[in-house]
Structure 1
């Protein structure tokens, strides 16, 4: 469908032009120019750099310098705080640790932005508070990609448990991030395990991020995944791009990945003679992800940092980010007629985000993630391995 992708490019261009006037609306008059340091991980899409360049073009007295820190989820806190910053771009799970240790300061939500409920809950200072610890730059949630070979055949959207059960016409195989080669891919493995567990038992992790400490629940929830892994019904790979490669190179039917990959995967797969389309659907309950921008607690330029964050996360920016494949954080972007026409799959993404559960929003999350990784990795691969009481005891210890 070349028209769809031409439309996306056109909308992106129109939004970029519109952002120029938005950037110009933040006026600063300073005798001494200041450069704000934004500490962040990498962005392969180019969307973030585009927004920053737009800001810098209109604000020669208040410019943004990006410092990319190569970090995994496990070591992001230590690496970020060892780098002098005015603004942090945080993975959602790091907000509690940064706020508990006074590393970030509360900030007002951008005007005209109505955050999706799970996104707001994960960011706000407290129940009912109008302030946020960090303003969401984008949100994210795992999605189920599926290959369509014949559009004339009925295409019922499958549930994740049907995909891995190898029963009926909706059976897999499924490519997912259920392997890990290093600390950089450990968190993807943990997220995939949690999503598979939630597909069997929604009580494993509730919508506030409270995790079950019932060993029996965990055993029942992960038993189907273990059976599918041992039965070779899952193609377990490490990392998002390796999952894309497995899905495409082996022409697999299903893949679990993030929605930011959808435009590229869909465009490339449509060129194959045996693929009519790639579609995405929601998981029963996905894991909430995303990045958020926070003001460093010790910055000497709080007013300027807040203005930058308001610009980078406001509604015009959200619409622009959507054209690059990101999941917007605000209701208004999903309701925008032009965005809906250019990216019709976003309605599925919105449904998935609204039904997503956060990981435990706890300062001890890194220890929790390590416990899940250590206890479930071998369990899923060895027929004789079992989950024991030590597993749930260590979860309780990590999150106490």
Structure 2
């Protein structure tokens, strides 16, 4: 662990809040009271409960695992009003949630103690002084506990040599496929995804599927999320990294060239070429792509781990399985951080310790999230809290319209299949790459999505021109211009 920032460094971090208003694309400004004077300092408020946790919507549904974990914390702290916790879920997509959190923390319009941040937002919130560095481990036990976090997952909490959060739930791109549809097309088991599968292997299977006389007219080889939102950024970075193209270094400095960007764009165009990807992918998000997969309109699917739990509501156990994504896969997920001006900092950090404990991470994994601790995958972790385990339901914001019909709830896959999934997920997380680390991530992803979506939508894509234009804009973005 890295030491906490103290003294002048902390004051410098606070001073950057004003600068953060200029650097972030939010509608809410850094304002004081209605008459232009500064509002009350939250540090002067009494450190009374509840501890307020702000988070995006839980993909495990209403009353999902995050809310259940908060309720378990409250049960364990019954009779202590100042230590009770409350979960506030923010509506909208990731970009909207980011804007809401930035606006609230900069203006002081909402007093959050803990924020559940997308891993790509850590540099921005840290640079603006909106979250506090986590304290250094004081005992060997605490240090060992931190080492249980998967190395690449824990690295998402770092910025400028300090850890600003704890990993809560993680994510990584996976390749789902339909064994029943592959069998129907005459593709033998030996030609199905393995740990060493490549995109060329996938293309070969897609070609065979296209030649099958039994293939429905609306069935494509694979689908993914190419709508103009963060899913497109994830798919693009995976293509770039698979082609050996890194957009920025770990300090947020731009390092690509127009020639390298063209190489990455060409890789993405190969993956999404006509006859390979489902055309509807260009307007698909996670829910839409999962619906197409479950309905048999795509045989392969690039999706996140929670899709594995969602499949239980959509398909029979022998109709789906999962393996690692060919090439590189990007990390996703959220980290828990304490807001810089929380008057309940100590209680907030204690709550984060609870929410990221082995027992809590086991609950998250059981509910369909990817856990952040290695012990969950090697079966040495403590089991899920009994009260939470009893309340958990099958995971997923699964599109009910895609259900395959029949009465009752489809059966889960067997223990052997679930163990294989856990091994696959662990291996993928241990080799995943990050999206660019930069305080200007919001501007970066907006520019990337705009150029890439326009390129994919045209009938005659010119990757050279797109790369030149993208290079010029990204140079400005990473320089903060």
**Band of TM-score, shorter chain:** 0.7 to 0.9
Q: Give how far 1:227 is off.
A: 4.7
1:385 to 1:251, Cα distance in 2 relative to 1, 3 A: closer
Give the direction of change, closer, same or farther, for the CA distance of 1:156–1:175 in structure 2 (3 Å limit): closer
Secondary structure of 1:34's aligned partner? coil
**3-state SS of 1:107 partner:** coil
Contact conserved, 1:164 with 1:225, CA < 8 A, in 2? Answer: no
Deviation of 1:218 (Å) = 2.0
Which of 437, 440, 459 does residue 383 from structure 1 map onto?
A: 459
The Cα offsets for residues 5-26 of structure 1, whole Å up to 9 and x where unpaired, read as: xxxxxxxxxxxxxxxxxxxxxx
Mark the CA change 1:161 to 1:115 in structure 2 (over 3 Å): closer, same or farther. farther
1:203 equivalent to 2:245? Answer: yes
Kindly indicate whether residue 185 of structure 2 is the aligned counterpart of residue 137 of structure 1.
Answer: no
- Report SS of the residue matched to 2:116: strand
Which residue in the other structure is 1:153 paired with?
189
Identify if the C-alpha distance between structure 1 residues 170 and 193 changes in structure 2 by more than 3 Å, giving closer, same or farther. farther
| Bigger Rg, which one | 2
Alpha-carbon displacement from aligned partner over 1:276-305 (angstroms, at most 9, x marks no partner): 442232332111111011001001011110
Q: Which moved more, 1:34-43 or 1:153-162?
A: 153-162
- Number of aligned pairs? 358
TM-score (norm 1): 0.81
Q: Conserved in 2, the CA contact under 8 Å of 1:207 and 1:357?
A: no
CA distance in 2 between counterparts of 1:32 and 1:370 reads 39
Residues 139, 211 of structure 1: CA spacing in aligned structure 2 closer, same or farther, 3 A cutoff?
farther
Paired residues of 1:173 and 1:234 also in contact (CA < 8 A): yes
- Give the CA RMSD over aligned residues: 2.8
Aligned to 2:59, the other structure's residue is in SS state coil
Cα pair distance change 1:297/1:71, threshold 3 Å? farther
Report the CA distance between 1:170 and its aligned residue: 8.4
**Pair 1:253-2:253 in alignment:** no
- 1:266, CA displacement in angstroms? 5.3
| Greater strand proportion | 1
Q: Which shifted more, 39-48 or 334-343?
A: 334-343
Distance 1:80 1:148, change over 3 A: same
Mapping for residues 46-195 of structure 1, pairs under 5 Å: 46-60=64-78, 61=80, 62-81=83-102, 82=104, 83-108=110-135, 112-113=145-146, 114-127=148-161, 132-149=163-180, 150=183, 153-154=189-190, 155-157=192-194, 158-164=197-203, 169=208, 173-180=221-228, 186-195=229-238
Q: Which runs of 5+ in 2 are unaligned?
A: 1-45, 105-109, 211-219, 384-414
Displacement of 1:144 in angstroms is 0.9
